[in-house]
């Protein structure tokens, strides 16, 4: 399949470029420390008559692909437009470097170090080397940096983190079927390891500990990712690790850019493209290259372009479709707000008050809920935001919970978490979540997904796993990868609950037996249909917790912010609002969707506001007077 993928990729590139091609200036060979030769393509601009900085790209996908696709960072087929020499090499054991492979061959990082030092010794090199590349081409940059070659100056990995984490491959304990199948098809051969280690055992703990080494990155890194990628959380964890654990001289030089992008690899969605699934972000197109070139110019060409003063974190706010910045990740100032699922399929900030209410659905492994978009990788699947209302939400194997129409923008920044109270008639089953943004015309656009395999409800270690007792109520906690999105006024927030999202996630056979018989990434052996129930009452309630920015929204109109106080808070019956200077005005109460609840005129310093007829939840209290506006959060308890 690897050869087929390469042939198809080259053919697609040839069609897209109408036969354009770029040839390397020359081909050379690098003698490694173990006395093997690695072939490299060298692209040298005509303007580089003396010594120039170099960008190294190490690929497992055939360096000849760059002849057809063109060089990155906007160079394409015009090498003479570049300020950099490009050196591109195949990984050892692949394509032009197949012959260099042998049992026990050195690590990719050691090969990267050898090539960096070879570049620095060439007459055309000024001794400064940076690296660039997405996905696997990004992972190898971290491995190279870990070897600390003397002339490596900076690295720019895209949609990649170096560590191997259990939950990257088994989110919620459930195998990413299509992801692993694509990796196998690309020649990485990871299935045997994964299928032999489906729990977070000692092998996984060792793997995680040995590959998570942010303290080993001694050069500035610019990490670039996308909100529709599958490596979001590992990237964010490693970036934070570098900011905290890298050597003191470099930790403040690391930067992160998160854009409205998918992983890439097929179709029109990739890092830097405008079209992402069924949505378009033209104002972010190519911004990854712009920042990367600024990064390389600063560190490789010594250009004082202000890169060193750029924010540590630059992120794209979906919905608002704007670039924002932060000094850190997670973004500070967020408040976790619960949106509760109700038996009428509504999603509200108030908890259910009914007794015993629940909704049930059937899940048939032979007819699973289909994967339509999202953080996929397999070549036959689409990537990015796609509508769920046309092929997913119209099925009978899903529960759909939706807010009222939002009367103001709701800004989410971070990781959502879904807590479900569930029961089933089977020993094991899955619960799959799709978080969606519903447009005024009814389009339900996918934002993020998550899954939990119920045998892992107590943890992912071998000793943690346990089958369910049919009919017993359990808690299912589903982690949702981080994102930044504004659900705009006029839209709705939607949470879909099903028991499959296939082939993104493995199909649970519902038997409680072996998960991957064969062993195989996708085998059904005597599967059974499950009847699964989500409980939605005042004792066993289910909800999604969203990290929201409550500093904007109702109080966006604030010009002169007024300080006032509310007591007691939380409260169940009434609160007293204390306003300054005995100034007349109005206090108004809104829910977190911006829906108006009630108001009271202010005529004295202390004003009583009754909460007796208001559902439990979090509300925003706004005080308006001629002097300005102030907003406070009020918690109503029942």
CA–CA separation, 176 vs 256, rounded Å? 26
The residues near 506 (Cβ < 8 Å, ≥ 6 apart) are 174, 175, 176, 177, 515, 516, 521, 522
Pairing of strands 358-363, 492-498: unpaired
- pLDDT at 631 (0 to 100): 82
The 3-class SS string of 500-534 reads CCECCCCCCCCCCCCCCCCCCCCCCCCCCCEEEEE
Beta strand pairing call for 152-158 and 125-134: parallel
Q: What are 324's strand-pairing partners? A: 315
For residue 450, give the nearest of 471, 425, 420 by alpha carbon: 420
pLDDT, position 561: 64
Mean pLDDT by 10 residues, the chain (638 residues): 41 49 97 97 96 98 96 97 98 97 91 98 98 98 98 98 98 98 96 98 98 98 98 98 97 98 92 97 97 98 97 98 96 94 97 96 98 97 97 98 95 98 98 98 98 98 98 98 97 98 98 97 96 97 96 47 84 87 80 80 86 86 78 85
Q: CB–CB of 347/340 below 8 Å?
A: yes
Residue 458's contacts (CB-CB under 8 Å, 6 or more residues apart) are 464, 465, 466
HSE-up of residue 401 (Cα within 13 Å, Cβ side)? 26
Report the b/e string of 434-470 with b at 16+ CB within 10 A. bbbbbeeeebbbbbbbbbbbbbbbeebeeeebbebee
DSSP 399-416: EEEEPPPPSS-EEEEE--
Residue ranges and CATH numbers for the domains of the chain are: 1-158 (3.40.50.1820), 335-548 (2.60.120.260), 554-636 (2.60.40.3080)
Angstrom distances, CA of residue 24 to CA of 40, 83, 200: 9, 16, 45
Distance of CA 475 to the CA centre of its chain: 25
Query: Do the Cβ atoms of 39 and 22 come closer than 8 Å?
Result: no
Q: Tell me the whole-structure pTM to 2 decimals.
A: 0.88
pLDDT of 214 reads 98
DSSP string, 43-90: E--TT-SS-EEEEEEEESS-TTHHHHH-BTTTTBT-GGG-SSEEEEEE
Rounded to the nearest angstrom, the gap between the alpha carbon of residue 215 and the centroid of all alpha carbons in its chain is 23
Length of the chain counted residue by residue: 638
Q: What is the pLDDT of residue 19?
A: 66
The conformational region for residue 612 under phi > 0 = left, psi -120 to 50 = alpha, else beta, is alpha
Query: Tell me, what DSSP letter sits at residue 25?
Result: S
pLDDT of residue 10: 43
């Amino acid at each position: 399949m690897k050869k087929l993928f390469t042939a198809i990729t080259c053919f697609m590139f040839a069609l897209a470029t109408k036969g354009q091609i770029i040839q390397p200036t020359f081909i050379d060979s690098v003698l490694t420390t173990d006395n093997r030769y690695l072939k490299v393509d060298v692209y040298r601009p005509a303007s580089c008559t003396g010594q120039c900085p170099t960008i190294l790209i190490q690929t497992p996908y055939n360096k000849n692909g760059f002849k057809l696709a063109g060089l990155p960072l906007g160079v394409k087929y015009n090498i003479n437009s570049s300020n950099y020499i490009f050196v591109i090499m195949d990984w050892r054991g692949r394509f032009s470097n197949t012959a260099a492979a042998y049992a026990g061959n050195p690590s990719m990082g050691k090969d990267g170090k050898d090539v960096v030092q070879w570049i620095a010794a060439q007459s055309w090199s000024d001794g400064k080397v940076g690296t660039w590349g997405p996905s696997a081409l990004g992972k190898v940059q971290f491995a190279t940096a870990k070897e600390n070659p003397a002339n490596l100056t900076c690295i720019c990995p895209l949609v990649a983190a170096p560590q191997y984490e259990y939950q990257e491959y088994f989110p919620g304990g459930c195998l990413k079927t299509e992801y692993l199948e694509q990796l196998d098809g690309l020649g990485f051969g990871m299935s045997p390891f994964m299928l032999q280690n489906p729990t977070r055992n000692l092998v996984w703990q060792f793997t995680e500990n040995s590959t998570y080494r942010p303290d080993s990155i001694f050069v500035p890194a610019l990490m670039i990712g996308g909100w529709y990628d599958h490596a979001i959380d590992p990237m964010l964890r490693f970036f934070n690790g570098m900011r905290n654990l890298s050597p003191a001289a470099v930790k403040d030089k690391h930067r992160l850019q998160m854009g409205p992008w998918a992983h890439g690899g097929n179709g029109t969605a990739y890092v830097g493209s405008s079209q992402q699934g069924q949505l378009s972000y033209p104002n972010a197109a190519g911004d990854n290259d712009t920042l990367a070139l600024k990064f390389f110019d600063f560190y490789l060409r010594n250009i004082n372009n202000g890169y060193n003063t750029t924010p540590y974190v630059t992120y794209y706010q979906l919905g608002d479709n704007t670039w924002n910045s932060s000094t850190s990740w997670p973004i500070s100032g967020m408040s976790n707000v619960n949106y509760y699922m109700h038996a009428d399929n509504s999603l509200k900030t108030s908890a259910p008050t009914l007794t015993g209410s629940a909704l049930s659905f059937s899940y048939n492994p032979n007819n699973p809920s289909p994967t339509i978009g999202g953080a996929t990788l397999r070549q036959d699947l689409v990537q990015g935001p796609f509508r769920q209302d046309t092929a997913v939400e119209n099925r009978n194997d899903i529960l759909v919970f939706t807010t009222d129409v939002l009367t103001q923008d709701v800004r989410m920044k971070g990781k959502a978490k879904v807590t479900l109270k569930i029961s089933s008639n089977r020993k094991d089953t899955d619960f799959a979540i799709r978080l969606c943004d519903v447009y005024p015309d009814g389009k339900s656009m996918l934002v993020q997904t998550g899954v939990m395999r119920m045998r892992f409800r107590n943890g992912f270690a071998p000793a943690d796993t346990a089958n369910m007792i049919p009919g017993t109520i359990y808690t299912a906690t589903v982690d949702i990868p981080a994102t930044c999105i504004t659900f705009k006024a006029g839209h709705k927030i939607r949470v879909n609950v099903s028991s499959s999202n296939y082939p993104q996630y493995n199909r649970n056979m519902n038997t409680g037996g072996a998960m991957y018989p064969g062993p195989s990434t996708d085998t059904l052996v005597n599967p059974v249909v499950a009847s699964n129930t989500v409980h939605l009452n005042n004792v066993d309630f289910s909800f999604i917790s969203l990290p929201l920015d409550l500093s904007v929204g109702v109080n966006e109109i604030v010009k002169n912010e007024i300080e006032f106080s509310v007591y007691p808070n939380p409260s169940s019956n009434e609160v007293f609002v204390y306003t300054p200077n005995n100034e007349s005005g109005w206090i108004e109460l809104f829910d977190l969707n911006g829906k108006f609840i009630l108001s009271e005129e202010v005529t004295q310093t202390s004003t009583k506001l009754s909460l007796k007829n208001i559902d439990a939840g979090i509300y925003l209290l706004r005080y308006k007077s001629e002097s300005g506006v102030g907003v406070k959060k009020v918690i109503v308890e029942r």
